[in-house]
Amino acid sequence: MIYADYNGSAPLCQDVRDYLIKRLTDGPYANPNAIHHLGSKVLMAMENARSVCAKTLGADFKQVIFNSGATEGISTAFHSVMTETSKKRIIISGIEHSATVNTAKYYADSQGCEVIAIKTKPNGIIDLEDLEAHINDDTAVVSIMAANNETGVIQPYLEISKLCNEKGVPFICDTTQFIGKTLFHFKNCGADYAVMSGHKIGAMTGTGILLAKDPERVKPIIIGGGQERGKRGGTQHYLGYETLAVALNYFEKHLDNIEILNNKRIEFETKLKEKFPEVVILGEDAPRLASTTYVAYPGIHGQAVQIELESKEIFVTTSSACSDNEPVTSKVLKAMGVSDDVGRGVVRISIGLCSDPSMYDTILEALSQTYEKLTKIKSY
């Protein structure tokens, strides 16, 4: 069985599995906010995890706020910005995750904000000139991702951050698909907020981090009893947060795997296009994550490809999980100007740093057989 949907959710990495078995056996278990000895031990382990996360992510200890994941982080970042301003323009891009799109829409519906989606070039990179042209004195926030969850295209987030800093506009960077797949340094990137989810990097589901340049400006959306220094209420998921540290530590120890995976991915894509010149690799000419291929054979339905691969015990997806059940061209591809003939045919192949690169050889053979079969019976 080959699981190739890491951009959707990664399985627990081996280091996390080993850690959890030992941790669940040895304990301790307690409320980390309790003042007794066991509570103090749990708190110490959780704060040690925070230190590890901070170091790996290039952040200060106090800039790391544990939460349930990137969706909560995006909501908290928007809330923190929008409660401090009377400005009404929100700038996003056409390739943002629905967590950002729907949060921006919430402020449009509830506070009358204007939401601007800047242009995306055909290669999947946002148009910096269009972004600069739309930033004005009424701009409350810019929220643009560092890497796209469908195409794997890496965005010019450093340039976006620099532009926003020059204009005095808060910048929320969705780094959900970026962190754990390539190097990231929060303080050096200049963003006001960045987010991540544990399930994208091999840690436990339901865990995440909000990185805040100025933690004092974070306004909680979960009030609770003052946990996380009053920035996120509720008893902390300390076991999950410990696995964040383990998974990030695994990433840091295996940085060489990035180049290995990237080379193998390029080899896979090259061989696939040699066999099938009609094949389209979305974002092919743009910088992409080492472990993501978004591929289409025009005229062959992506769900048909997905079903064929699944019959061979290879699990991929047709787009992001939030729209996978809709046989239409995704909003990301529409923003890139991709035709329906291509857009309806995409499948996303995404693996992780802990994956065996030889997976690509098996996927190539299976995908080749699938295309050969389906070209004889075009699905539309």
Per-residue model confidence as pLDDT tens digits over 218-237:
999 999 999 999 999 999 99
- Mean pLDDT throughout 284-312? 96
What angle (nearest 5°) sits at the alpha carbon of residue 98, between those of residues 89 and 182?
100
Whether pLDDT at 378 is above 70: no
- Statement to judge: residues 168 and 275 lie in one domain: no
Contact 317, 286 (CB under 8 A): no
pLDDT at 354: 87
- Mean pLDDT throughout 340-367? 95
Whether pLDDT at 195 is above 70: yes
- Statement to judge: residues 238 and 354 lie in one domain: no
β-pairing verdict for 64-67 and 208-212: antiparallel
Whether pLDDT at 311 is above 50: yes
At 343-352, the pLDDT tens digits run 999 999 999 9
For residue 380, is it within any domain? no
At 92-133, the pLDDT tens digits run 999 999 999 999 999 999 999 999 999 999 999 999 999 999
Answer with the one of 217, 235, 252 that is the final residue of a domain.
252
Contact 171, 160 (CB under 8 A): yes
At 2-46, the pLDDT tens digits run 999 999 999 999 999 999 999 999 999 999 999 999 999 999 999
How would residue 380 be classed by pLDDT, with cut points 50, 70 and 90? very low
- Statement to judge: residues 174 and 148 lie in one domain: yes
For residue 206, is it within any domain? yes
| Residues of the chain by 3-state class (helix, strand, coil), percent to 5 | 45, 15, 40
Domain encompassing residue 44: 14-252
For residue 97, is it within any domain? yes
pLDDT at 328: 81
Whether pLDDT at 324 is above 50: no
* CATH classification of the domain holding 36: 3.40.640.10
Tokens at 303, concatenated = 């769900």
- Statement to judge: residues 67 and 216 lie in one domain: yes
Whole-Å CA distances, 25 to 196, 221, 235, 237: 28, 34, 22, 17
Task: Report long-range pairs for 116-119 (Cβ below 8 Å, ≥24 apart).
Answer: 116/89, 116/90, 116/91, 116/92, 117/92, 117/93, 117/335, 118/91, 118/92, 118/93, 118/94, 118/144, 119/94, 119/335
Residue 209 burial by Cβ neighbours in a 10 Å radius (0-12, 13-18, 19+): buried
Percent of the chain with pLDDT over 90: 95
How would residue 377 be classed by pLDDT, with cut points 50, 70 and 90? confident
Distance between CA atoms of 186 and 300, rounded to whole angstroms?
A: 41
Distance between CA atoms of 166 and 124, rounded to whole angstroms?
A: 25
Residue 167 burial by Cβ neighbours in a 10 Å radius (0-12, 13-18, 19+): middle
Nearest to 209 by CA among 369, 59, 360, 3: 59
The per-residue pLDDT of the chain, averaged, comes to: 95
- Statement to judge: residues 228 and 260 lie in one domain: no
Question: Which H helix or E strand runs over 193?
Answer: strand 193-197
Contact 240, 203 (CB under 8 A): yes
- Mean pLDDT throughout 183-206? 97
DSSP bridge partners of 174: 145, 195
How would residue 323 be classed by pLDDT, with cut points 50, 70 and 90? very low
Whole-Å CA distances, 46 to 68, 243, 366: 15, 10, 44
Answer with the one of 225, 252, 279 that is the final residue of a domain.
252
pLDDT at 376: 83
- Statement to judge: residues 266 and 188 lie in one domain: no
How would residue 379 be classed by pLDDT, with cut points 50, 70 and 90? very low
Whether pLDDT at 320 is above 70: no
Contact 118, 91 (CB under 8 A): yes
Nearest to 228 by CA among 64, 73, 79: 64
- Statement to judge: residues 327 and 351 lie in one domain: yes
Percent of the chain with pLDDT over 70: 97
For residue 106, is it within any domain? yes
Cβ within 8 Å of residue 176, ≥6 positions away: 70, 97, 145, 149, 195, 196, 197, 200
SS3 303: helix
Length of the chain: 380
pLDDT at 321: 46
Number of domains observed in the structure of the chain: 2
- Statement to judge: residues 29 and 130 lie in one domain: yes
CA 243 to chain centre: 18
What angle (nearest 5°) sits at the alpha carbon of residue 119, between those of residues 118 and 122?
155
First to last CA, the chain: 29
Whether pLDDT at 367 is above 90: yes
Contact 101, 143 (CB under 8 A): no
Answer with the one of 252, 270, 302 that is the final residue of a domain.
252
Whether pLDDT at 277 is above 50: yes
- Mean pLDDT throughout 353-368? 95
pLDDT at 37: 95
Q: How many CB atoms lie within 10 A of CB 100?
A: 26
